[in-house]
Amino acid sequence: MSLTSDDHHVEIAGHTVAVTGRTGPVHATWTLLIDDRETDSAKAAGDFTLRGELPDGSEIRASVHQSLVGPTEVVIYHGGEQAARFTGFVA
């Protein structure tokens, strides 16, 4: 965790799922990667969701909450079940 970026990783069904957040001039850029391949991204703050699929077709969803002053929470879901929860800070 740093003031300008978050990197969260979890292994799900043998695949690496990552959510990264990087500070931007107005809003942070958030990216969902599965096995280092970008599947979704958003320049946003507040509450939003990034979506992707594992090679077997099962859904990966990352719910992101970024407050206006920086604290973040990322919850990663696999097939509707919570797989991981992370907190961090992106200014």
Strand partners, 45: none
- CB within 8 Å of 2: residues ≥ 6 apart: 89
DSSP structure string for 63-83: EEEE-TTSEEEEEEEETTEEE
Number of domains within the chain: 1
Confidence of residue 60 (pLDDT cuts 50, 70, 90): very high
The per-residue pLDDT for range 14-36, each reduced to its tens digit, is: 999 999 999 888 888 999 999 99
**Which residues span the domain enclosing 10?**
5-89
Sign of CA pseudo-dihedral 85, 26, 52, 37: negative
The single-letter code of the amino acid at 78 is: H
- Which CATH number is 13's domain given? 2.40.128.180
Residue 90 has pLDDT above 90, yes or no: no
Average pLDDT over residues 36-46: 94
Which pLDDT belongs to residue 27? 84
Amino acid at 34: I
Residue 1: pLDDT band with limits 50, 70, 90: very low
